[in-house]
Amino acid sequence: MMMIAITTFLILMITTILMTIANILSKKTFMDREKNSPFECGFDPFNSARLPFSIQFFLIAVIFLIFDVEIALLMPMIIIMKMSNLTSWMLVSFFFITILLIGLYHEWNQGALNWAS
């Protein structure tokens, strides 16, 4: 047990030292206007380089990612069905799908799925 504590302490110390050294060595100056501006063939840019981003796209992407992970969790449940107890499998599957449906209802109720709003 003592060996694990010593190893953990050494790893934490080494990573802290490395992060501190990297932070000290990588200091950059942000005062140079030319380096911070986007390059357009030597001319000053006509428009801002950062366009406003619609939060609706971000929310739809996050919802898609969440449901994509949920589908990846549902797929192995079909394969496990043959190897497990049917009642426990049905209980876990029902519980998991119920949570998914409650989450979908909540997003629908909050208006996160309405694109035209």
CB 77 within 8 A of CB 89: yes
Q: Is residue 117 part of a domain?
A: no
* pTM of the predicted protein model: 0.48
Q: Which domain holds residue 54?
A: 2-110
Domain membership flag for residue 20: yes
Average pLDDT over the chain reads: 82
Which residues have a Cβ under 8 Å from the Cβ of 30 and sit 6 or more positions away? 36
Average pLDDT (67-83) is 86
- How many domains does the chain contain in total? 1
Instruction: Give residue 10's pLDDT.
Output: 96
Q: What is the pLDDT of residue 61?
A: 85
75-101 mean pLDDT: 89
CATH of the domain at 41: 1.20.58
Give residue 42's pLDDT: 62
- Residue 50's SS3 state is coil
In a domain, 28, yes or no: yes
- Does 116 fall in a domain? no
pLDDT score, position 82? 86
Percent of the chain at pLDDT exceeding 70: 77
In a domain, 32, yes or no: yes
Locus of tokens 């060595």:
25
